[in-house]
A = this chain, B = another copy of it.
């Protein structure tokens, strides 16, 4: 990947002398910032802007290790073949006219993919804006030259944007508004070869990058993406397009990408420690905050001190702190004493800290005193500070920011007031990397992104792509490798039991007498079920009989079930489990993320409220516990209305094992344990089906 980010020499194929053309703009951008060799290629010119122009990449002198290609689509494959011949290791194709433009374009893109596979040349694009590296001043892109006058403030946030035109508008907006410093901005277009994973891997190691933001419409290699995210200590923020049913439909027609199951993608990203953004500018604000405060220690949910010159804004801040799941700090006695000294006598000390009456009494020094006190307060993890630039506090927050920096306390500034003062403060803040926000809620949610981020495991994190160990008896192993379609309830549960999952006691019986005997051993009442090949909705067709209370009834039910199945199936006698909390555990195989475990509540309410969570398999125990915590009604697991609390450890083992089963047997398409009933705290699989391919 180095050839894209740190080339020694660049050939620009499709360079132009026409100042209106992209091929001219790329050249000018190269000449302005890039310090290596620049070789325009275009048979129509001898020279452009004082540089020798070559008729073909084959004629370009050394050193050259990157070709930027900007010729009409149909000419691209020939150019790439010449790059291979010239032994150029990488090409960035900025031309459009490929898979995004119908059948011909698709064929063209397929040809590029083929060249890539055959020759090993790395291809970036096509249909992209290329790369802008604000630190090294590499603008490998046809973006207009005024970017140099208006934009390019270097910083340590790197970006990957899938959509072509979006990256243009978005990058220009961020850069020309100077609202944040960028390290590398990568527009990846159709991803014929280089994809978000390649770039992520590079950026995680890149010393110029402190946080990474990605806009993605698809994550085709979801498992590799997760492994990379888990191995990163740098904060990663993802805005995923195509989450809703209608968004996914738009995604289909736009880049023909699989948007996947929105809930599953969301949960998978959370599992990998990724921060999910909702909107473009919000993503940038979160990146900015996370790049500034990548590692923050906190207690509990994160204890926040709010400093404000307005009681009203303090009230709204308290609402927001609650809304984002943080808590207000209980100020230390030292802080309380300091505030008492500067407060008017009538005023009680509390948090949010309304500092205005103290400022009226003691001048603007009071704001600084209060700020210093909360910076030094061991009960405070982070500060939400309101700065009203209306005169009384001056125009410089950098001394305050310095106090906070020295104390190691992250501060999130909400800034409002006179236009000129606001601009001045924003500029200083930008230069010094102080996170200021123009909207209070945005400041609060960025604070939450910082305080609630799970610290990355860092290099050496276990890969999700490694299977867990499952050892099944030969007979069951053969079933999972050889059978097709839906396995019956009993066989499904035998497989689960072999994985160590508690299943309800049951036995297949072959006569009424045997049914009665088994039922007597299990203890009445029992459940009897007809296992009919291919029939998965047993209840609907009358093949489930509950509450059978005597041996006589068992004999009779055996006949009834046999009759209903017209002699085809077997009869199962099962202990009737006492009523308890109903759970569902499942396994699905996602086209982007592979096998994933689903956990949720069963029963009517749950079906309506769709309260469930996904985890990409294999799960760690902490992943499994995390699934439980993601349910809205998780309180029910703790033993509601006198019920015994669920044994979370036992439950997490079930979730882990189901995932491992999915990893070990790729032919398992789906598993459904429904219901998994909690009996005296212990989760027991009461009904289940394992569905195989074909």
Contact = CB atoms under 8 A, between A and B. Distances in A.
The bracket for how many chain A residues form the interface is 35 or more
Which interface residue of A166, A172, A391, A632 has the most chain B CB atoms within 10 A?
A: A166
B608 A390 contact: no
A635 B604 CA distance: 11
A249 interface: yes
Contact of A102 (B345, B417, B438, B640): B345
B279 A163 contact: no
A217 B312 contact: yes
Contact of A165 (B144, B172, B312, B441): B312
Secondary structure of the A contact surface, majority rule: helix
A382 B421 CA distance: 38
Interface stretch (A267-275, A347-355, A368-376, A499-507): A347-355
Given A279-B440, A357-B101, A316 B247 contact: yes
Interface stretch (A200-208, A235-243, A564-572): A235-243
A509 interface: no
A419 interface: yes
Contact of A217 (B150, B315, B347, B354): B315
A217 B356 CA distance: 18
Contacts of A609: 605, 609, 632-633
Interface in A65-109: 96, 100-105
A606 interface: yes
B318 A249 contact: yes
A253 interface: yes
30 contacts: A96-B360, A100-B311, A100-B357, A101-B344, A101-B346, A101-B347, A102-B347, A103-B346, A146-B418, A150-B418, A165-B309, A166-B312, A168-B390, A169-B309, A170-B416, A217-B312, A241-B316, A241-B319, A242-B315, A242-B318, A246-B319, A247-B318, A253-B348, A254-B311, A280-B439, A280-B440, A281-B438, A604-B640, A604-B641, A609-B609
Interface of A: 96, 100-105, 144, 146, 150, 161-166, 168-170, 172-173, 176-178, 215, 217, 239, 241-247, 249-251, 253-255, 278-282, 309-316, 318-323, 327-328, 344-348, 350, 352, 354, 356-357, 360, 388, 390-391, 416-420, 422, 438-441, 601, 603-609, 632-633, 635-636, 640-641
